[in-house]
Homo-oligomer: A and B are copies of this chain.
Amino acid sequence: MRTPPPKERADAARNRAAILAAAARLFAEHGVESVSMDAIAAAAGVGKGTLFRRFGDKAGLAVALLDHREGELQEAILSGPPPLGPDAAAAERATAFTEAYLDYLFAHLDLVRMSETAAPGARYRIGAYRFWHRHLTLLFGGDGEFRAHALLAALGAEHVTALLPELGEERLRAQTVRLAAALAAG
């Protein structure tokens, strides 16, 4: 998933790395919101066309930057130790996932938000959403598809961003986990 076999030319790889490094630096320095794609291209010493060809759009760039962390979480779910991994009861795995996902979210809120809101409907198209949804659906069992969507709606970056100031991380986490448990119960 990181770099599918179909080879990549040397200059292409160089540019990709330069872009990701420049983007990470600028985002850390000035905040995700206020960094333009022009600025990233310039800082990476690369033309705008290159930037967009490689990553599609701003959301795609965010996804690429998150790819590593996201992959770790997915790995832990697929083959890690309980309670996240396979050797635990479904309900427990669902709440563990919620906790872990919130950790991930809190750590990268702006970036995730950008990946979800840059293009309309972007969130539901990217592979990660499908992965989380599939996982929760299996855990919820039966007709769990809708409930999985509902939990993910409550975990949307936009939603969490809006609720954070009025609840704080602790209460938000506690309540969301409770919701997950309720949804897992049917």
Contacts and interface: CB of A to CB of B under 8 A. Distances in A.
Interface of A: 33, 113, 117, 120-121, 123-124, 146-147, 149-150, 153-154, 156, 158-159, 161-163, 167, 172, 175-176, 179, 182
B179 A182 contact: no
Copies in the complex: 2
Given A120-B158, A149-B159, 12 more contacts: A117-B117, A123-B158, A124-B162, A146-B172, A149-B154, A149-B163, A150-B154, A150-B179, A153-B154, A153-B159, A156-B159, A182-B182
Nearest to A179: B150
By secondary structure, the A interface counts as: helix
27 contacts: A33-B120, A113-B120, A117-B117, A117-B120, A120-B158, A121-B158, A121-B161, A121-B162, A124-B162, A146-B163, A146-B167, A146-B172, A146-B176, A146-B179, A147-B179, A149-B163, A150-B150, A150-B153, A150-B154, A150-B179, A153-B153, A153-B154, A153-B156, A154-B154, A156-B156, A156-B159, A182-B182
